[in-house]
Structure 1
Amino acid sequence: MSSFEEAETEETVTCLHLTFYHPGQAEKMMFRCLDFCRRQRVRADDAAKFGRDSSLCHYSLVDTRVSRLQFSLQFYRKLHTSEYGFEIKNLSKKTRLTVNQTELGYLNKIDLPWKCIICFGDYQILAEIQEGEAVDYFETHLHLAEAPILQERCLPSLQPIPENGIAPSFPLCQGKSPTEIDENELY
């Protein structure tokens, strides 16, 4: 028997990919304490904490507008299944946290969807869960976004152009909502 055949089966590890964005990240360098180069291992019984206080948080954000403890992520096993998940809890008394538009006040918590956007203040974090089998720990892999994760797409209101090719002379974008026009009314 070769050593390859005798080696223990390697188990996969649940990995939480977190992509960070802040509009002032180039000037303020609030992410300078985060390690974007490698995966980091976190014990399953330990909550991954994010905030300003580096003595309390695994992931420190260098910004006076961030709470000392902003939020935590707790790894857990779902009841009566072999599936794992994460629970996110808002630890800030001053700043509300949103997860896919669900607003969390102080000490509120919810299950983290497998892919979601976490927002607080001007911070945007795309969270994606890569499932694994390991029970004693999980990993985080941090990324930095070059552009906003959430973008308000302000598309110009388009006026309908009738079949004769002549656009109507009335504006649709001056505080009025567009109304449906019967094509016979244009002639």
Structure 2
Amino acid sequence: MTSFEEAETEETVTCLHLTFYHPGQEEKMMFRCLNFCKREQVRADDAAKFGRDSSVCRYSLVDTRVSRIQFSLQFYRKLHTSEYGFEIKNLSKKTKLTVNQTELGYLNKIDLPWKCIICFGEYQILAEIQEGEAVDYFETHLHLAEAPILQEKCLPCLPSLQPIPESGISPSFFLSQGKSPTEIDENDL
């Protein structure tokens, strides 16, 4: 046998891609402590914490309006399956955290969808999970958005906040066509 045949099978690694945006990011430089250049390995049993306190948080945001510990992401294996996921927990007593418009108060946690937008204050973070098989660690890959995430991404997992009328045609359909909806009297039909 050759060394190639005897080599162990390479495992793929779960990677959490996080794209950050804040309207004042150029002036205030709140992301200056984040490493946007390369993937980072995180042990599976460590919670990836985000916040202002760099002695506690692996990912530090330089902003006095951010809580000492804002939120954490915990890697876990789903019960009775070979699938892995992340849960997100709000660790801020002052600021609510939203995940795809689901509001989390202090110490509330939910499973992180495979693609979602995390918001707190003026911060927007697009989170995307790239699945892997490794169990001892996962990776994070941080990106910086130049434009607001909520305006540049139209995610199918984000429901519209506008009610859709009984006709089934969304008012945004008319706006995208440059027309406004007009009301017609039943007798004119």
SS at structure 2 position matched to 1:172: helix
Pair 1:173-2:176 in alignment:
yes
User: CA separation in 2, counterparts of 1:173 and 1:4?
Assistant: 57
Provide structure 2 residue ranges, at least 5 long, that are not aligned to the other structure: none
Pair 1:101-2:104 in alignment:
no
Provide structure 1 residue ranges, at least 5 long, that are not aligned to the other structure: none
* Displacement of 1:3: 2.0
Determine what percentage of the aligned residue pairs are the same residue. Answer: 91
Distance 1:86 1:171, change over 3 A: closer
SS at structure 2 position matched to 1:150: helix
Superposed CA offset, 1:133-176 (max 9, x none):
00000000000001100129999999999999999999999999
User: CA separation in 1, counterparts of 2:89 and 2:60?
Assistant: 16
Superposed CA offset, 1:70-105 (max 9, x none):
000000000000000000000000000000000000
Tell me, yes or no, if the aligned pair for 1:159 and 1:172 is still in contact at 8 Å.
no
Superposed CA offset, 1:44-92 (max 9, x none):
0010000000000000000000000000000000000000000000000
**TM-score, normalization by structure 2:** 0.83
User: CA separation in 1, counterparts of 2:71 and 2:99?
Assistant: 12
What is the Cα-based RMSD across aligned positions, in Å? Answer: 6.6
Tell me, yes or no, if the aligned pair for 1:117 and 1:126 is still in contact at 8 Å.
yes
User: CA separation in 2, counterparts of 1:91 and 1:166?
Assistant: 40
Tell me, yes or no, if the aligned pair for 2:15 and 2:138 is still in contact at 8 Å.
yes
User: CA separation in 2, counterparts of 1:115 and 1:169?
Assistant: 24
User: CA separation in 2, counterparts of 1:70 and 1:23?
Assistant: 18
* Displacement of 1:2: 2.4
Tell me, yes or no, if the aligned pair for 1:162 and 1:183 is still in contact at 8 Å.
no
User: CA separation in 2, counterparts of 1:74 and 1:54?
Assistant: 18
Distance 1:176 1:89, change over 3 A: same
SS at structure 2 position matched to 1:26: helix
Which residue of the partner structure matches residue 3 of structure 2? 3
User: CA separation in 1, counterparts of 2:87 and 2:96?
Assistant: 16
User: CA separation in 1, counterparts of 2:44 and 2:168?
Assistant: 64
Distance 1:137 1:155, change over 3 A: closer
Distance 1:132 1:166, change over 3 A: closer
Tell me, yes or no, if the aligned pair for 2:70 and 2:91 is still in contact at 8 Å.
yes
Tell me, yes or no, if the aligned pair for 1:93 and 1:106 is still in contact at 8 Å.
yes
* Displacement of 1:180: 2.4
User: CA separation in 1, counterparts of 2:122 and 2:65?
Assistant: 10
User: CA separation in 2, counterparts of 1:159 and 1:33?
Assistant: 38
Instruction: Indicate the larger mover: 32-41 or 177-186.
Output: 177-186
